[in-house]
Amino acid sequence: MHQIVWNNCLKAIRDAIPEQSFKTWFEPVKPIKLEDDVLTIQVPNKFFYEWIEEHYLGILKKCIRHEIGKQGRLEYFIPMENQTRSSAGEPSFPKPLDSSHIVNPFVIPGIRKAKVESNLHPDYRMSNYVEGDCNKLARAAGIAIARKPGGTAFNPLFIYGAVGLGKTHLVQAIGNEILANHPDKNVLYISSEKFTQQVIQSIKNNAIDDFMAFFHNLDVLIIDDIQFLANRTKTQEIFFHIFNNMHQVGKQIIISSDRPPKDLQDVEERLVSRFKWGLSADIQAPDFETRMAILDAKSQLEEIQLPYPVLELICHNIKESVRELEGVLISLAAQASLNQRQIDVLLAKEVIEKFVRNYTREITLDQIQKMVAEHFNLKEEYLQGRTRKRSVVIARQLSMYLAKNLTTYSLAKIGGTFGGRDHSTVIYSVKTIKDLLDTDDGFRSTVSELEKKIKMSMAV
């Protein structure tokens, strides 16, 4: 019964919120039981509970009361902590451990806490880290940690995603935000490669104890690209002890990786299990709008003037990597400076071709007119003329339809190219072609063939 009730709730929630938000916050949730008009759902961690309560409580209450009745209530179960919270009334939590009674096996008498060089890049800030559906969970967790490092449910914070999506920017931005909020905190950012080198050096110098003692000075440890600890048994062992010690006394640990904990290869299971203790948040490839916002922010930071058509062209072709967006921006600025050229669409196309193997040139209105005219064995000027001959009218309307679907030109621009017609003519033409596509299979095949030819003709 609890499954049916929750499934009905999910249907209503899916219709009321964006699809990406639904996937992020509700797909991981599982119904557990329904007793005495109380539906209990399992959430991955405390952060999920807090986020859902803050952002979706209204719709949840509405759904629960619709499915169970006015007396219906919702409770949350957090499995790792074995805690239950209710959406109504005061929650009850077991008392936390008093960290002052935990014996630290690594403390060395006489070692005083000293300020540590953070290794953080000052340009990596939350203020210039653009939020989108692709990174919302990771960024929100980072902001919460920056307010209260070591005092949230997501310790460690494990951020993962493909190469070039901004993981390093985010983890360093969290570190800089922590220092801005808590100047007295000792924060260290280090790559796993650098960590390994330091382990090797300390072993050579018989200084492992001193090396590990250094980490007792930290309040926050940020380690980047943890996957590179694979097959490094001694380094993993030392990191395991450092992790345990910091976690036991409430110090914050932030980790990045190119894959989730469960997919880490040749990393000890005891480490992998600890990576799962807190929150694992993925960063995905940004959508078009987020890429536009990222590139615009980067160009402003670098003081590079990007015309909107250039911005749009770059983001249309660079889809998988924020790092590639930055690379195109830097190359574009360099080419403009060295060759004394303006940054325009033509220069942007030249630069993009070097970055994207399957780069597709922008489809032009002239190209569409030319190929439609060839297909119908007409002169191109007929498509811009005033003749009402049916074969010409259909070809002209189809050209406008293809221009609307295959280019980013405005309706006014499209209409103007076809003999100075206005946008209402384009709208009418598009509707006429859509009606034909719905009723004429042969015409639908013709249009599909033309679309393929036009796209192929513009490929480099």
Residue 292 and residue 256 share a domain: no
pLDDT score of 182: 93
What DSSP string runs through 128-183? Answer: GS---TTTHHHHHHHHHHHHSTT-SS--SEEEEESTTSSHHHHHHHHHHHHHHH-T
Query: Is the peptide bond between 286 and the residue preceding it cis, with omega within 30 degrees of 0?
Result: no
Q: Percent helix, strand and coil across the chain, each rounded to 5?
A: 55, 10, 35
CATH of the domain at 10: 3.30.300.180
Cα–Cα nearest to 185, from 101, 120, 275, 141? 120
Which range (30-34, 92-96, 322-326, 450-454) has the least confidence?
92-96
Residues 286 and 267: beta-carbon distance below 8 Å: no
Residues 323 and 162: beta-carbon distance below 8 Å: no
pLDDT score of 110: 39
Residue 235 and residue 321 share a domain: no
Residue 21 and residue 37 share a domain: yes
Alpha helices in 259-344 (DSSP H): 269-275, 288-301, 308-317, 322-338
Domain finish residue from 32, 67, 86: 86
Residue 443 and residue 345 share a domain: no
Residue 277 and residue 199 share a domain: yes
Domain finish residue from 355, 379, 410: 355
Residue 170 and residue 35 share a domain: no
pLDDT > 90? residue 390: no
Tokens matching residue 71: 């007396």
Rounded Cα–Cα distance for residues 197 and 289 (Å) = 40
Position 116 in a domain: no
Tokens matching residue 193: 């490669």
Kindly report the pTM of this predicted structure: 0.54
Q: In this structure, are strands 220-224 and 157-161 parallel, antiparallel, or unpaired?
A: unpaired
What DSSP string runs through 194-244? Answer: HHHHHHHHHHHTT-HHHHHHHHHT-SEEEEE-GGGGTT-HHHHHHHHHHHH
Of the pLDDT bands very low, low, confident and very high (cuts 50, 70, 90), residue 86 is: low
- Across the beta sheet with 38-42, the strand order is 30-35, 38-42, 73-78, 83-86
pLDDT score of 115: 60
List pLDDT tens digits, range 243-292: 988 888 889 999 999 899 988 988 999 899 889 888 999 898 888 888 88
Position 107 in a domain: no
pLDDT > 60? residue 359: no
Residue 318 and residue 277 share a domain: no
pLDDT > 50? residue 460: no
What percentage of the chain carries pLDDT values higher than 90? 18
Residue 224 and residue 174 share a domain: yes
Mean pLDDT score, 135-156: 90
Q: Domain range spanning residue 395?
A: 365-457
Whole-Å CA distances, 306 to 150, 337, 403, 407: 41, 14, 25, 21
Residue 158 and residue 268 share a domain: yes
What percentage of the chain carries pLDDT values higher than 70? 88
Position 101 in a domain: no
Number of domains in the chain: 4
Cβ-Cβ contacts under 8 Å for 226 (sequence gap 6 or more):
192, 255, 256, 257, 264, 267, 275
Position 119 in a domain: no
pLDDT score of 239: 92
CATH of the domain at 420: 1.10.1750.10
Mean pLDDT score, 406-422: 84
Residue 84 host element (H or E): strand 83-86
Of the pLDDT bands very low, low, confident and very high (cuts 50, 70, 90), residue 80 is: low
Cβ-Cβ contacts under 8 Å for 223 (sequence gap 6 or more):
190, 191, 192, 195, 239, 253, 254, 255, 256
Cα–Cα nearest to 382, from 369, 401, 371? 369
Position 315 in a domain: yes
Position 95 in a domain: no
Residue 263 and residue 151 share a domain: yes
pLDDT > 50? residue 295: yes
Residue 338 and residue 276 share a domain: no
List pLDDT tens digits, range 365-374: 888 888 888 8
Domain finish residue from 242, 267, 283: 283
Position 111 in a domain: no
pLDDT > 70? residue 457: no
CATH of the domain at 323: 1.10.8.60
Cα–Cα nearest to 252, from 168, 169, 167, 147? 147
Q: In this structure, are strands 38-42 and 30-35 parallel, antiparallel, or unpaired?
A: antiparallel
Position 100 in a domain: no
Q: What is the mean pLDDT of the chain?
A: 82
How many CB atoms lie under 10 A from the CB of residue 19? Answer: 9
Residue 77 and residue 34 share a domain: yes
pLDDT > 80? residue 320: no
